[in-house]
Copies of this chain bind each other. A is one copy, B any other.
Amino acid sequence: MPDGVTHLFIPGPTNVPEQVRQAMNVPMQDHRAPDFPELTLPLFASLKKIFQTETGRIFLYPASGTGAWEAAITNTLNRGDRVLMSRFGQFSHLWVDMAERLGLDVICVDVEWGTGVPVQAYQRHLEADPTIKAVFATHNETATGVTSDIAAVRQAMDAAGSDAMLYVDGVSSIGSIEFTQDAWGVDLAVAGSQKGLMNPPGLAVLGVSQKALAAAETATMQRCYFDFADMIASNDVGYFPYTPPTPLLHGLRAAVDMLLAEGLENVFERHFRLAEGVRRGVCALGLDLCATAPYWYSDTVSAVRVPDGVDGAEVCRIGYHRYRTSFGAGLNKVAGKVFRIGHLGHLNEVSCLAALASAEMALADAGADIELGAGVAAAQAYYRRALADRQDLPDLALLASAAPR
C-alpha cells in the first residue's frame, strides 16, 4: 500500500509480533544436525505449558489447522466409528463435513448459529448411545464469535458415564483464552500457528492425551503424512520424519516465550479486556453480536450483526478498500449478516479502538444508521477504567528482556 499499513482485524492470521518476525528471519539450517534437538525438545516442552497438559504430548505438522483436524481423526478413529458433533458455524460445519468424508458415523446436533456446543443434548445422546466413540467440540467458533464451555462438555461426558474421547477445536482459542487440556480431559486438542500463537500460518499444532496415543496404536484409518507413530519416533529424539519448516519453529519459540513471559493468566485477562471494550463499543452503536447471549461471547473474535438493509460483505469491502482495514466477512448462513472483528494475538487497546473507528465509518458508508464515535467512546470509557491502575509499564525488566534487541 502506498499510504500506510492495512490494519488487520481478521481472526487469523493475526498480527505477528516483531520478536517473532525477527526470530523467523534465519538462514536455512540442517534439520538433522546434532544440535537441532536443542531447538525442538524445549519447544515441545513449552507448548505443553500453553496447552496446559503435563501428561499429553505435542505434535507439530507442516499443515494448516485443517490438517490438524485430519491428524486428530485419522490417527485415533476407525471408519464407521460413531461420533457426536455439533454444528453452529462455518468451522464446526467444516469439521462435521470432514468427519463424514473420512467415513465416521456422525451424530450431528445442529443448534442455532450464535450459540455453541449443546451440552445437555450431548449428555442425552451419550446416555442414550454408549457406542459413541468420540465427542467433538469447537471451543471457539470463529465464524460466529462463540465460545463453548469445554469443562461442561467433559462434565456431561462423565455424568453420562461415557468413555468416549474428547476432541476440541482450539484453533482460535488456544493461547488466547483459557484452555486446560489435562483439567478438562481433552484427548485431542487442535491448534494452528497463525492465531493465538502469533505466527504465520504453516504449522498445525496438536495436544494429544495418553488415552488418544493408546488409541492411535490400534486405529486403522488410512494415514501416512499425518501418522502419529512416525512423528513420535522422530520427535522423541528431537527430529522430524520429514523436513519441518524451521523458520516457523524459531518463530514459535519466540511466541511461546512471549506468552509465558506475560503469563497465561495475564494473556487471558488481556483478551477479555480487549474483547469487552469492543463489545461495549458494538453495543453503544446499537448493534448486536451474533453470539446470542453473554454466555457465548468470544474473547477472540466478535461477529457483529449488521442492521437490516445493510450488507455485511459491503462493510468488509469498504473497510478494506476505503479504510485499509481487514475485517472478517460473514460465512455461510451468516454471510452478509455479520462482519467480524478479530481481537486476538498481539494486540492492545488502541488497536481495538482503531478497529471500532474504522468499522463505524464502514458501517455508515454501507448505510447503517449509527452515530460516529459512539462505539469508540464506549470502549474508551471501559479501557480507561480497566487500565486505571496501570501507572507504568508492567515490568521494565521484563520489557527489556522480551523487547527486540
Hey, which bits of chain A sit against chain B, CB under 8 A? 1-8, 10, 12-16, 18, 21-35, 38-39, 62-67, 70, 98, 101-103, 192, 194, 200-202, 221-222, 224-226, 241-248, 250, 253-254, 257-258, 261-262, 266, 270, 317, 320-326, 328-329, 346-351, 353-354, 357-358, 360-361, 364-365, 371-374, 376-378, 380-381, 383-384, 387-388, 390-394, 396, 398-400, 402-405
Contact = CB atoms under 8 A, between A and B. Distances in A.
Contacts of A103: 222
Contact of A380 (B29, B372, B390): B372
B67 A33 contact: no
The count of identical subunits is 4
A327 to B, nearest CB: 9
Q: Of residues A222, A224, A226, A253, which shows the largest number of chain B Cβ atoms within 10 Å of its Cβ? A: A224
Given A5-B346, A101-B224, A354-B350, A241 B66 contact: yes
A384 B403 contact: no
Contacts of A348: 1, 3-5, 323-324
Nearest to A327: B30
A67 B358 CA distance: 40
B66 A225 contact: yes
Nearest first, the 7 closest Cβ-Cβ pairs linking A and B are A373-B377, A4-B348, A202-B245, A354-B354, A353-B357, A2-B262, A13-B28
Contacts of A398: 2
Given A224-B98, A380-B372, A35 B247 contact: no
A355 to B, nearest CB: 8
Contacts of A400: 35, 38-39
Given A201-B243, A323-B387, A354-B353, A25 B22 contact: yes
Given A26-B18, A67-B63, A246 B201 contact: yes
Given A13-B243, A29-B6, A364 B393 contact: no
Of A28, A29, A222, A325, most buried by chain B (CB within 10 Å of CB) is: A28
A29 B326 contact: yes
B361 A376 contact: no
Contacts of A201: 31, 62, 243-246
B25 A25 contact: yes
B347 A325 contact: no
A20 to B, nearest CB: 10
Given A3-B262, A350-B358, A354-B351, A200 B23 contact: no
A377 B383 contact: no
A221 to B, nearest CB: 7
A395 to B, nearest CB: 9
Contact of A64 (B15, B242, B248): B242
A14 B2 contact: no
B34 A8 contact: no
27 contacts: A5-B15, A6-B29, A13-B31, A16-B28, A22-B22, A22-B23, A24-B247, A34-B393, A35-B396, A63-B63, A63-B67, A64-B225, A64-B243, A202-B202, A222-B222, A321-B390, A321-B391, A322-B387, A325-B350, A353-B358, A360-B380, A361-B380, A364-B384, A373-B373, A373-B374, A373-B376, A377-B377
